[in-house]
A = this chain, B = another copy of it.
Amino acid sequence: MELSEFELIRRLGRKIPPRLRLPGSLTDDAGALKTVVGHAVMSADVVVDGVDFRSTAGNWEQIGRKALAVNLSDLAAMGAAPVSFTCALGIPKSFRARSVERVYHGMMRLARQQGIRFAKGDISRSATFFIAITVLGSTGEKPPIARSGAKPGDWLAVSGSLGGSFKAKQFEFMPRIREGRFLLEKFRPHALMDISDGLVQDLGHMLRASGAGCRLQLEAVPVSAAARKAHPGQIRAQLQSALSDGEDFELLLAVAPAQKMGLERAWKRRFPGVKLSWIGRFVSGKPQVKFYDHEKEIPGGRFRQAGFSHF
């Protein structure tokens, strides 16, 4: 790095338009925000070079965007609107200031689109390049939606389509903030979360948190075009990809039977470009997934273990 810490901080600061910053974000020990009355949520996600992305391609804008996008997906998963975020960077000596500026640039473009303001940054030398972001969001007068409220009888729904996402859209996916807000405001599903490590693995988290089981209808799982393209003609591999690949960043929700039709209609009107698929029902019993093809139960062992690990 040809610049000192402070020169780099100054240069990065210039990447952030004033209306995207909290007062004090560049000059004080903390960014200042006037809090809204109501409920807030706070989450953190770190992405590390070689684990969550690869910087070798020089795709700096994309990496910066992704680091913020995975955090925004956590806000969407609570039904929250984005408020502000912090960003800590670990930067190897070999990195050029221009590259780090491009990381910020990609991040700030998404911040503008999603209306989230930069609260504070920190940088440190590090042998491994990483971006650690924390987001603060608000659900206003209504409390956020946990993943723990699914009840036997509820329908399981998922937004968008699944599988092959690391390859197809890890850098382009749009966090489902609008969809999460809409769900919280209009329908308040019993449970809500995002899928980041694969449908079956993340559904397992919802089941354990809710103390319910789930009957998953394999024929209803929305297999993405990317998953189909990656395994031409191999239906089984396509499905496996939809069940266990990471990086989908779609919403998974538990919906009371009485709300199913209303949500389906309202969703179609509001989000004509985004699928909403009904992929199963919650059942009482052990928190585990049972796999069905229409009425026939499929031994699930081969589906169950998979899922992305950050370790």
Say yes or no: B86 contacts A43, CB within 8 Å.
yes
Say yes or no: A30 contacts B78, CB within 8 Å.
yes
Complex formed: what's the CA distance from A309 to B77 in Å?
38
Complex formed: what's the CA distance from A51 to B93 in Å?
12
Among A74, A75, A120, the one with the most B-chain Cβ atoms within 10 Å of its Cβ is A120
Q: Select A48's contact among B24, B90, B310, beta carbons within 8 Å.
A: B90
Say yes or no: A311 contacts B29, CB within 8 Å.
no
- A1: nearest chain-B partner, CB-CB: B311
Say yes or no: A40 contacts B44, CB within 8 Å.
no
- Whether a CB of chain B sits under 8 angstroms from the CB of A229 is no
8 A Cβ contacts from A30-80 to B: 30-48, 50-52, 73-75, 77-78, 80
Say yes or no: B28 contacts A78, CB within 8 Å.
yes
Contacts A27-B148, A31-B41 known; 17 new A-B pairs at CB < 8 A: A4-B311, A8-B311, A22-B42, A27-B146, A28-B146, A29-B77, A32-B39, A32-B146, A34-B38, A43-B119, A44-B119, A44-B122, A44-B134, A48-B126, A52-B124, A123-B310, A130-B130
Within the oligomer, what is the number of copies of this chain?
A: 2
Query: Which residues does chain B contribute within 8 Å of A43, judged by CB atoms?
Result: 29-31, 86, 119-120
- A208: nearest chain-B partner, CB-CB: B27
Known contacts A128-B126, A134-B44; is-contact A39 B28 (Cβ 8 Å): no
Complex formed: what's the CA distance from A143 to B32 in Å?
8
Query: Which residues does chain B contribute within 8 Å of A73, judged by CB atoms?
Result: 29
Say yes or no: A122 contacts B78, CB within 8 Å.
no
Can you list 15 contacts pairing A with B, beta carbon distance less than 8 Å? Answer: A1-B311, A27-B209, A28-B148, A29-B77, A29-B193, A32-B144, A44-B88, A45-B88, A50-B127, A52-B124, A88-B132, A124-B130, A127-B128, A134-B134, A136-B136
User: Smallest Cβ distance from A13 to chain B, in angstroms?
Assistant: 13
Complex formed: what's the CA distance from A128 to B283 in Å?
44
- Whether a CB of chain B sits under 8 angstroms from the CB of A190 is no
Chain A, interface size category, equals: 35 or more
- Whether a CB of chain B sits under 8 angstroms from the CB of A194 is yes
Q: Select A29's contact among B22, B50, B136, B194, beta carbons within 8 Å.
A: B194
- Whether a CB of chain B sits under 8 angstroms from the CB of A108 is no
Say yes or no: A126 contacts B119, CB within 8 Å.
no
Complex formed: what's the CA distance from A87 to B44 in Å?
7
Complex formed: what's the CA distance from A143 to B24 in Å?
12
- A146: nearest chain-B partner, CB-CB: B28
- Whether a CB of chain B sits under 8 angstroms from the CB of A106 is no
Query: Which residues does chain B contribute within 8 Å of A124, judged by CB atoms?
Result: 46-48, 51-52, 130, 310-311
- Whether a CB of chain B sits under 8 angstroms from the CB of A222 is no
